[in-house]
């Protein structure tokens, strides 16, 4: 077997991988600078569907857990994980699981996902949780800061009123806190 190894392609790929963390840090810093000008006491929680790598890269229906972040003018801070049953089973949504997911993230103002279908989207909205899919496959911190800036703008313009969310009812799924 003759193995073809393209050294230049490999070096380009390695350089891209090495640059990603630096790019994320730079982007996060730029977002934080813009947020630093905001003066607000508002703090809220947001759930994120992710497969890892610091990205919003999981479909709502496929998420077995959500990372929960606190958003404020100080930035974005991971505060825990919420394990939930996977909503989408073989292309169909399990309504009882959706109700458990909503109870598990009931204290969150938003849920960031790579994709979400119409039925769970509508039910989340009716529950007071904003499904956010416009940041699909982008970094969590940058996206959360950008969304939070928009949220603060809506409060200032009178478009919305900030309301504290209730406690999450975790039921059987354990809460894993990050301290």
Q: What is the pTM of this model?
A: 0.75
Give me the CATH topology for the region 7-177. Answer: Nucleotidyltransferase; domain 5 (3.30.420)
CA distances from 109 to 26, 102, 103, 130, 132 (A): 27, 11, 13, 6, 10
Q: For 38-77, write each residue's pLDDT tens digit.
A: 667 889 999 999 999 899 999 988 888 999 999 998 889 9
The residue extents of the domains of the chain are: 7-177
What is the C-alpha to C-alpha distance for residues 22 and 99, in angstroms, rounded to an integer? 39
């Amino acid at each position: 077997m003759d193995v073809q190894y393209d050294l230049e392609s490999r070096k380009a790929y390695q350089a891209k991988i090495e640059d990603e963390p630096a790019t994320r840090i730079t982007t996060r810093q730029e977002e934080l600078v813009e947020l630093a000008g905001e003066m607000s006491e508002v703090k809220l929680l947001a759930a994120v569907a992710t497969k890892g790598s610091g990205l919003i890269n999981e479909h709502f229906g496929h998420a077995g857990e959500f990372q929960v972040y606190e958003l404020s003018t100080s930035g974005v801070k991971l505060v825990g994980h919420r394990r939930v049953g996977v909503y989408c089973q073989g292309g169909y949504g399990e309504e009882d699981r959706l109700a458990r997911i909503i109870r598990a993230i009931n204290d969150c103002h938003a849920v960031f996902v790579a994709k979400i279908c119409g039925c769970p989207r509508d039910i989340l909205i009716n529950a007071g949780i904003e499904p956010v899919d416009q940041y699909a496959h982008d970094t969590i911190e940058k996206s959360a800061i950008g969304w939070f800036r928009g949220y603060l703008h809506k409060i200032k313009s009178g478009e919305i009123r900030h309301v504290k969310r209730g406690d999450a009812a975790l039921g059987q799924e354990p809460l894993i806190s990050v301290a």
